[in-house]
Amino acid sequence: MKKAEKALTNKKGFTLIEVLVALFIISGVFITILSTYSYHIGVFDSKKDNLKLVLVAKEKAFLYKTGKLKQLEGVDDGIKYQIFVQDAELGLKKIVSKAYTKTEEVVMYDYFK
């Protein structure tokens, strides 16, 4: 009988509480990783949209300086743009190139003679 009692008391394994605690810790780490990933995807999309605005503003300013821009305002690939020309100091002209959407706006300045 001693061997039977010893077999019952020497069971190896985890208790239900230990398994639940391990699952809780693993799920917490997994949720943290997913939320961080989701946040960074949102930041990337925002920066990508802002870069598009910057590129449109720079392109329209360049086209105006080279004389190839026909309209001073319009829509290019869903992005609205406007070009303003102002007199600046020292005989220079200031180009104000503005590109915007409903939520974001970029304004760039350039000078030329």
Q: What is the pLDDT of residues 21-55, one digit of tens each?
A: 999 999 999 999 999 999 999 999 889 989 999 99
What does 3-67 look like in DSSP terms, one character per residue? HHHHHHHT--S--HHHHHHHHHHHHHHHHHHHHHHHHHHHHHHHHHHHHHHHHHHHHHHHHHHTT
Instruction: Determine the pLDDT at residue 99.
Output: 96
**Are 46 and 106 in contact, with CB atoms under 8 Å apart?**
no
Q: What is the residue-averaged pLDDT of the chain?
A: 90
